[in-house]
């Protein structure tokens, strides 16, 4: 049995009482075995966390690892033009190798910023490379192949055959779902209504029930998108998903900005999950989701960065800060989205979204050992008085303050050095391959 002892930490537990105290954490294999003021135990590894803060691993519930390589390639555009002219041709140009490099680059950035779990959208081709990168890196993910068998415009660079999309998805599910004791789980990933036929959506629903896996899609992010859904399917987007029977606790919807009152009720009443991506929503000028209103209706909200070309970082600290600030500005009310609530969305909210709240999201005995050591002794976080730790984490801390990241009881970054991925190799490969990918993508433009 492998044992890691973290000592003298300020532990932000996120347990029911939201206890924060100085103490030790004993990790045995992939679980948190004990938490106490002082633990006397022999361990294979001791991490001295004196003057450091230990938090539950951050959970981002909507990521496109496949797009990390395209950072900076598609700035200052609105969603549909951004997708059709840039992102889809770039994804279509992926080879197995470039997709692997993109995924590894994204996972490296996420681990270095204290994110330990994601829900990922995959891409249409070569998604297995993303599974392999997640597996090799020790990262935790719920993910699947992106499905796109329809285009209201007629054609796009990524369109695929319905049956092929379904068969490939099921093949990946059978190979990867519950791999490494559930560290990797499958989710069906129909991209969004306007790129999916009704047949595909219905089949996805049936299969997700058959295999008890989640469905991950984008919904009501952009005004043009919901207009196309209305013209094409004759009703509002969320009403349509509800009518097809997709809504429920197994469905996670990224964005949910353009909802009417009825749609907000559908989401809250069915237990459908929302992945809020504030920086992406601002950069693509999509709008601002009504998160405080959805929270007041008891909707399950979590946070995420979306993808590198619409953000342009995968930094949960930045998402937390923006999630708080935009609502205060929108509602002219500084009391909405307080730091404690935002930090809850980044931890417990994400665990609930993953259907893993009994295993993740807080530092408690018996839970999986996904924990992050942060050094708040940087000038932008000082003074480090203990009472204001959550304020520091949400409003002041940065990804670079993360010192050590542990996932499933394994140290994947120690003192900012990645242990499962070769950072310098990833940097070199990404820089080497990007020009070739962009040139190739130009040929996929439709």
Q: How far is the CB of 91 from ligand GUN (least distance, A)?
A: 8
Nearer to Fe ion, 225 or 306 (CB): 306
Nearer to ligand GUN, 183 or 191 (CB): 191
With CB under 5 to 8 Å by kind, the binding choice for 87 among Fe ion, ligand GUN, none is ligand GUN
Stretch that binds Fe ion, among 40-48, 111-119, 303-311, 350-358 (CB under 5 A): 303-311
Q: How far is the CB of 214 from Fe ion (least distance, A)?
A: 15
Of residues 262, 182, 251, the one with CA closest to residue 217: 251
With CB under 5 to 8 Å by kind, the binding choice for 83 among ligand GUN, Fe ion, none is ligand GUN
Residue nearest to Fe ion (CB): 306
With CB under 5 to 8 Å by kind, the binding choice for 403 among ligand GUN, Fe ion, none is none
Between CA 206 and CA 135 the distance in angstroms is: 27
Stretch that binds Fe ion, among 44-52, 71-79, 304-312, 352-360 (CB under 5 A): 304-312
Q: How far is the CB of 13 from ligand GUN (least distance, A)?
A: 33
Q: How far is the CB of 115 from ligand GUN (least distance, A)?
A: 18
CB 37 within 8 A of CB 3: no
Between CA 372 and CA 214 the distance in angstroms is: 26
Residue with tokens 């820089």: 431
Nearer to ligand GUN, 116 or 279 (CB): 279
With CB under 5 to 8 Å by kind, the binding choice for 236 among ligand GUN, Fe ion, none is none
Between CA 247 and CA 214 the distance in angstroms is: 11
> Which strand (E) or helix (H) includes residue 148?
none
Q: How many CA atoms lie within 13 A of 91 on its CB side?
A: 31
Between CA 170 and CA 227 the distance in angstroms is: 31
Nearer to ligand GUN, 224 or 388 (CB): 224
With CB under 5 to 8 Å by kind, the binding choice for 363 among ligand GUN, Fe ion, none is none
Work out whether 306 is an interface residue with Fe ion (CB under 5 A): yes
With CB under 5 to 8 Å by kind, the binding choice for 140 among Fe ion, ligand GUN, none is none
Residue nearest to ligand GUN (CB): 218
Q: Can you point out the beta strands (E) in 235-328? A: 251-255, 273-276, 300-303
Residues near ligand GUN (CB under 6 A) are 64, 79, 83, 87, 191-192, 218, 221, 280, 306-307, 310
Between CA 283 and CA 272 the distance in angstroms is: 25
Structure tokens at 432: 């080497």
Between CA 196 and CA 200 the distance in angstroms is: 6
Strand 410-414 with 402-407, pairing: antiparallel
Of residues 96, 272, 254, 280, the one with CA closest to residue 189: 254
x/- mask, Fe ion, residues 40-79, rule CB under 5 A, reads ----------------------------------------
Between CA 48 and CA 57 the distance in angstroms is: 18
Burial class of 37 by CB neighbour count within 10 A (0 to 12, 13 to 18, 19+): exposed
Nearer to ligand GUN, 193 or 294 (CB): 193
Alpha helices in 26-120 (DSSP H): 79-81, 88-92, 96-112
Strand 417-418 with 251-255, pairing: unpaired
Work out whether 120 is an interface residue with Fe ion (CB under 5 A): no
Between CA 231 and CA 57 the distance in angstroms is: 42
Q: How far is the CB of 444 from ligand GUN (least distance, A)?
A: 15
Q: How far is the CB of 17 from ligand GUN (least distance, A)?
A: 37
Q: How far is the CB of 21 from Fe ion (least distance, A)?
A: 38
Q: How far is the CB of 117 from Fe ion (least distance, A)?
A: 17
> Which strand (E) or helix (H) includes residue 411?
strand 410-414
Nearer to ligand GUN, 188 or 192 (CB): 192
> Which strand (E) or helix (H) includes residue 342?
helix 339-344
Stretch that binds Fe ion, among 25-33, 256-264, 284-292, 300-308 (CB under 5 A): 300-308
Largest CA distance in the chain: 66
Q: How far is the CB of 185 from ligand GUN (least distance, A)?
A: 21
Work out whether 91 is an interface residue with Fe ion (CB under 5 A): no
Residues that bind Fe ion in the complex, under the rule CB under 5 A: 306
């Amino acid at each position: 049995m492998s044992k890691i002892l973290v000592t003298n930490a300020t532990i932000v537990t996120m347990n029911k009482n939201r206890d924060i105290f100085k103490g030790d954490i004993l990790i045995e294999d992939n679980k948190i075995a004990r938490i106490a003021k002082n633990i006397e135990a022999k361990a294979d590894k001791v991490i001295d966390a004196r003057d450091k803060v230990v938090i539950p691993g951050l959970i981002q519930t909507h990521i496109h690892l496949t797009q990390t390589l395209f950072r900076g390639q598609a700035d200052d555009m609105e969603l549909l033009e951004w997708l059709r002219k840039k992102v889809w041709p770039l994804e279509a140009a992926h080879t197995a190798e470039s997709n692997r490099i993109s995924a590894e680059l994204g996972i490296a950035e996420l681990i270095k910023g204290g994110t330990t779990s994601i829900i990922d959208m995959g891409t249409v081709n070569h998604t297995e490379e993303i599974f392999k990168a997640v597996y090799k890196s020790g990262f935790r993910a719920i993910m699947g192949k992106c499905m796109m068998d329809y285009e209201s415009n007629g054609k796009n660079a990524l369109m695929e055959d319905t049956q092929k999309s379904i068969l490939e998805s099921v093949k990946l599910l059978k190979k990867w779902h519950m791999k490494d004791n559930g560290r990797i789980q499958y989710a069906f990933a129909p991209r969004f209504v306007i790129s999916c036929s009704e047949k595909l959506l219905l089949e996805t629903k049936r299969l997700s029930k058959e295999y008890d896996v989640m469905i991950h899609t984008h919904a009501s992010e952009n005004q043009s998108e919901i207009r196309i859904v209305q013209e094409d399917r004759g009703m509002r987007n969320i009403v349509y998903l509800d009518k097809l029977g997709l809504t429920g606790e197994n469905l996670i919807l990224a964005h949910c900005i353009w909802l009417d009152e009825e749609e907000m009720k559908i989401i809250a009443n069915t237990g459908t999950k929302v992945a809020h991506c504030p920086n992406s929503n601002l950069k693509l000028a999509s709008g601002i989701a009504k998160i405080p209103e959805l929270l007041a209706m008891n909707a399950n909200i979590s946070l995420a960065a979306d993808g590198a070309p619409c953000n342009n970082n995968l930094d949960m600290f930045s998402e937390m800060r923006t999630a708080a600030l935009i609502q205060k500005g929108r509602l002219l009310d500084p009391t909405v989205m307080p730091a404690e609530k935002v930090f809850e969305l980044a931890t417990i909210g994400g665990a609930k979204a993953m259907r893993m709240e009994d295993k993740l999201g807080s530092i408690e005995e018996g839970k999986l050992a996904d924990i992050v050591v942060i050094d708040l002794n940087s000038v932008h976080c000082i003074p480090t008085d203990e009472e204001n730790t959550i304020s520091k984490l949400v409003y002041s801390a940065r990804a670079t303050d993360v010192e050590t990241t542990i996932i499933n009881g394994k140290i994947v970054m120690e003192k900012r050095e990645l242990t499962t991925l070769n950072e310098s190799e990833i940097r070199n490969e990404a820089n080497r391959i990007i020009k070739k990918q962009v040139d190739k993508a130009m040929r996929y433009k439709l």
